[in-house]
């Protein structure tokens, strides 16, 4: 049985953290690294969701939908680069994702301590 305290869960959480930080550092790493790492981040998020599916609720569903929506907006922004509104939408959704992910991590850390 898989429990969140196993080594595999710690590796998955570390991979999520590293891929998230590299995704956010797009101005320093460049667009190619951003595209590759954001794809890995989406994959790790989906794996994380599957692993913790018993704790699934509406807030986590909204968070996952925001991450997928930010990814799709970035993808369509690259495809339709003559429409700058799509990239603006991608930036706004991505900033919202950063705040909601911070809240998600903060709530998880408080559950571990208390």
Q: What is 35-75 written as a DSSP string?
A: HHHHHHHHHHHHHHHHHTGGG--HHHHHHHHHHHHHHHHHH
Same domain, 61 and 114: yes
What are the pLDDT digits (tens) for 23-47? 999 999 999 999 999 999 999 999 9
Write down which residue in 21, 36, 54 finishes a domain: 54
Same domain, 20 and 43: yes
Q: Please, is 40 exposed, middle or buried when counting C-beta atoms within 10 Å of its C-beta (0-12, 13-18, 19+)?
A: middle
Same domain, 84 and 104: yes
Same domain, 2 and 33: yes
How many domains in the chain? 2
Domain that holds residue 49: 1-54
What's the confidence (pLDDT) of residue 52?
Answer: 83
Write down which residue in 35, 54, 73 finishes a domain: 54
Grade residue 104 by pLDDT with cuts at 50, 70 and 90.
confident
Same domain, 38 and 61: no
CA dist., res. 55 & res. 49, Å (int): 9
Residue 23: which of 54, 45, 48, 49 has the closest Cα?
Answer: 45
Same domain, 40 and 65: no
Tokens 């569903």 map to which residue? 61
User: Which tops the pLDDT comparison, 1 or 93?
Assistant: 93
- Sign of the Cα torsion 66, 76, 48, 99 reads negative
pTM for this entry: 0.84
Same domain, 4 and 39: yes
- Sign of the Cα torsion 98, 18, 76, 52 reads negative
């Amino acid at each position: 049985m898989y429990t969140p305290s196993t080594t595999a869960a710690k590796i998955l959480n570390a991979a999520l953290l590293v891929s998230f930080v590299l995704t956010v550092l797009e101005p320093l790493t460049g667009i190619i690294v951003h595209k590759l790492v954001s794809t890995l981040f989406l994959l790790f998020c989906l794996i994380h969701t599957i692993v913790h599916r018993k704790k699934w609720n509406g807030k986590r569903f909204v968070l996952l939908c925001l991450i997928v929506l930010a990814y799709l907006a970035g993808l369509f922004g690259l495809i339709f680069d003559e429409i700058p509104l799509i990239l603006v939408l991608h930036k706004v959704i991505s900033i919202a994702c950063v705040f909601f992910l911070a809240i998600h991590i903060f709530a998880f850390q408080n559950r571990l301590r208390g």
